Structure 1
Amino acid sequence: MILAFLLGFGLFADHIGRLVTPGQMQQADGIVVLTGGHSRIDVAVRLLKAGKGKRLLISGVNPIARADDLRIATGSEAELFDCCVDIDHAALDTIGNAEESAKWVQANAYDSIILVTNNYHMPRSLLEMRRLLPSATVHPYPVVNTPLDNAAWLAKPDALRVLATEYTKYVGALLREIVPIPRIAGLKQPNEITKATLK
């Protein structure tokens, strides 16, 4: 069991090390960014400004943070935030991010989104998002702040700690596949979501 866990961790870390920020990103209906990591929101706002999505959802924002705080921090115009940015204060973790994002996607009848989060957080975020939005296309946009290719994480204790923690959470998320997902008010469950409901 321990050997399998360690082998899985090695494969997971190698996968994270190979993730790169896309040079070009195809357009999607919407953009979702999960807060918690350095420069995530800045990247998502740039994608919005570039016309890669119609609207942007910033999920998991601290309840005391105002829209103006985020706008000023990203150097954005008030018009952009007023017209095209939605802020979620409800999500407290990655599962909550996925739940609130799924509600937002359904409410806007979107068929595709760009998901912005850090490279180490992307596998678990994709898993949770696709679990709740199996009929929507989710395009990953990993943000890479610290290069971890060529097993560079082995020589970086902080990176190793983050990867180990994230891998443990990822394994937990995989195990949740065999546990029924509790029903969330206002959110259609995966077997209830069809293309027709998203159009």
Structure 2
Amino acid sequence: MSMGQTSRKIFSPEPLREEPHSGGSTRRSFFRRSLRWGGFFLILLFAILFGGFLRFADSVTTLKPPAQPRADAIVVLTGGYQRIDQAVELLREGAGNRLLISGVHPTTTRTQIRKMTQSPADLFSCCVDIGYDAIDTIGNAREAANWIHSRGYKSVLVVTNNYHMPRSLAELKYVDPATEFIPYPVVNSDLKTQNWFTNPNALRTMLYEYCKVLLAGVRNVFGLGRPEGLRSQEQQEAGSSKSG
């Protein structure tokens, strides 16, 4: 072999080798990171929601009526006769000057409510108003706010079930932040001393109400998706014709 041939063999460039394509590896790495972060945020979200539920449950189970309730007026949100009985009893005791029973069905008459609560006719004729407009808690708040402002009240006792109280107060304060709302919870059972979380019905009620509280909070913060919560004129007239 000649010197020239040896030199060409030694110094001839080798063919370039193609590096393996790394696009698939990058995508897999990004997918794995996304899964890890997604799982982390899901765990964090669950922890926040669970902690919020425990706080909600504790506030409900420890909620007690004031020892000496007193306000300008009383508002009871319908949903059970026990609530109305308690509100009428507060009116009898002078805890408020006047009572609004909010969210009564149009087919229910004043006489029926009076007989159900075994109240004297003069008490109902002088000091009890029946609200037929509200169809839900938002409607209760609107109906109560209209009644409060029409009479110039500054402080109001709110009577409803203990588990329903946080959402009721939130809706009332949203539509009427100037009025002082004093909670008077009606306790159907002693949730504080009982293991309510082992009772399927009690646990279901608490979880359902907690979800409603969260929805109400988001709705009130962003001001979106708030229904009127009031019966239309046609619904009121239809109900009145049935009761007649």
What TM-score results when the alignment is normalised by the length of structure 1? 0.87
User: Please, what is the CA RMSD of the aligned residues?
Assistant: 1.8
Counterpart CA distance in 2 for 1:117 and 1:133 is 18
- Counterpart of 2:171 in structure 1: which amino acid? E
Identity %: 48
Q: Which residue of 2 aligns with 1:196?
A: none
User: 1:38: how far off?
Assistant: 4.6
Counterpart CA distance in 2 for 1:82 and 1:123 is 31
- Counterpart of 1:121 in structure 2: which amino acid? H
Q: Is 1:21 the equivalent of 2:65? A: yes
- Counterpart of 2:60 in structure 1: which amino acid? I
Q: Which residue of 2 aligns with 1:112?
A: 155
Asked whether the 8 Å contact 1:33–1:41 carries over to 2, the reply is yes
Asked whether the 8 Å contact 2:139–2:228 carries over to 1, the reply is no
Counterpart CA distance in 1 for 2:188 and 2:65 is 10
- Counterpart of 2:53 in structure 1: which amino acid? F
Counterpart CA distance in 1 for 2:85 and 2:95 is 14
User: Could you list the runs of 4 or more consecutive aligned residues of structure 1 that deviate by over 3 angstroms after TM superposition?
Assistant: 181-184
Number of residue equivalences? 184
Return the structure number with greater helix share: 2
Q: Which residue of 2 aligns with 1:134?
A: 177
Q: Is 1:125 the equivalent of 2:148? A: no
- Structure with the greater alpha carbon radius of gyration: 2
Alignment of 1:48-197 (within 5 A): 48-150=91-193, 152-180=195-223
Structure 2 unaligned blocks of 5 or more: 1-44, 230-244
Counterpart CA distance in 2 for 1:67 and 1:96 is 20
User: 1:183: how far off?
Assistant: 8.7
- Bigger RCO of structures 1 and 2 (CA < 8 A, at least 6 apart): 1
Asked whether the 8 Å contact 1:38–1:145 carries over to 2, the reply is no
Counterpart CA distance in 2 for 1:119 and 1:12 is 11
Structure 1 unaligned blocks of 5 or more: 185-199
